[in-house]
Structure 1
Amino acid sequence: MPKISAATVAEHRAARRRALLDAALELLAEAPEHAPGLGEVAARAGLARSSAYNYFRSRDDLLRAVVVDMFPRWNARVVAAMDKVSDPGERVLAYIDVNLQLVAEGEHAIVGALATFTPQSFTDENMLAMHDDLVLPLVDALRESGAADPELSADLISALLHKGTEMIESGRGFEEVRAAVRSALATASR
């Protein structure tokens, strides 16, 4: 019988699965243009290739699990940053800042790579709902700040963030883009 490295079999399995997800993320961060196979991921996690198949049926299954894992973590970072400030306007700025910071850290490049490798992972209803959940904290902050149409305002801010994302990913500095986005919003609100 194999030896488990946790108090329970369930904890052992959860730790192994987590190690595989983390290894896949590391590999994607290092080379976002390359979809890692189960063997590479298992090796990075310190497991045998055959062990990876106990947790994921295929590379696509693993990559889809990475996508599912990333959305809540991204959202948690956004919400945590927004919760540090009470003023609704500052919460909107915190939303912008943390999203741009995640882009600068390479998280968005990983999401982009995953969308290329497993486009079907981004088209099902659950994925679309998770993506929509990322905007909810912004809509709430805009509603609290008295925006006449918080959903429309959130869409426009998202478009500005999308352009900021493109700029960071094409080599512009985080601070430069962050300042420009904040300036555009301040100018628009006068």
Structure 2
Amino acid sequence: MPRIEAGSVREHRAQRLAQLIDAAEAILGEGGVEALTAGAVAKRAGIARNSIYRYFDSIEDLLELVVTREFPAWIDAVERAIAAEAAPEERAAAYVRANIEQAARGTHGPRASLSRTSLSPSARERVKHLHTALHGMLDRIVRELGSPQPELTVAVLQAVVDACIRRIDQGDDPATVSDFAAGATRRILADTRA
């Protein structure tokens, strides 16, 4: 039985998994996907190579954990931003702003690139489902507003978010991009009701 370095087995497991993901992120940052091997991750995390497989089944699974690591916090931040607003139009703008703010934290671009180029098709599908859950928040807001074309409205607003996130990934000022996107969201929603 391995030595537990936390208050419980669950905490120990969560800490060890975080160490392994941290190690993988560091290796990816230094040498890219080609450098990410079980041996390199184990060495970087300071554990036996065969021990890493207690936490994931393959390096491909570890890559998925790296890509999806920030999703829970991202989704939580968007939910909190939406909940802080009363008017549906402002909840939609909050959705847009919160997504842009999360992207501006600096790790979206590399994770998105990994998702597009290094994940298996099944892992990409699981990541797509996480995005779908996020988009569902916007869909509910748009339907509450009574948009005559809710699917199209959601698609256009999500395109604004995606384009603005790409601009941030390319180095644009997050505050400027966020202000622009929130204003565009309000104008789009006003046009759909006109």
TM-score bucket of the superposed structures, by smaller chain = 0.7 to 0.9
Give the counterpart letter for 1:100 in structure 2: I
Question: C-alpha displacement at 1:80, in angstroms?
Answer: 1.7
What SS does the corresponding residue of 1:106 show, helix, strand or coil? coil
- Match in the other structure for 2:107: 107
Could you tell me whether the CA contact under 8 Å between 1:32 and 1:113 is conserved in 2?
A: no
Question: C-alpha displacement at 1:21, in angstroms?
Answer: 2.7
- Match in the other structure for 2:4: 4
| Structure 1, unaligned runs of 5 or more | none
Give me the whole-angstrom Cα distance separating, in 1, the residues matched to 2:152 and 2:78: 20
- Mapping 1:14-29, distance limit 5 Å: 14-25=14-25
Question: C-alpha displacement at 1:117, in angstroms?
Answer: 1.6
More helix by share: 2
| Structure 2, unaligned runs of 5 or more | none
Question: C-alpha displacement at 1:129, in angstroms?
Answer: 2.4
Structure 1 pair 81/23, CA: closer, same or farther in 2 (3 Å)? farther
- Match in the other structure for 2:32: 34
Give the counterpart letter for 2:103 in structure 1: V
Give me the whole-angstrom Cα distance separating, in 2, the residues matched to 1:146 and 1:9: 49
Question: C-alpha displacement at 1:94, in angstroms?
Answer: 0.9
State TM-score, norm by structure 1.
0.81
- Cα-Cα RMSD: 2.7
Give me the whole-angstrom Cα distance separating, in 2, the residues matched to 1:32 and 1:122: 23
Give me the whole-angstrom Cα distance separating, in 2, the residues matched to 1:46 and 1:102: 31
Could you tell me whether the CA contact under 8 Å between 2:89 and 2:186 is conserved in 1?
A: no
Question: C-alpha displacement at 1:22, in angstroms?
Answer: 4.1
> Quick one: percent identity of the two aligned structures?
34
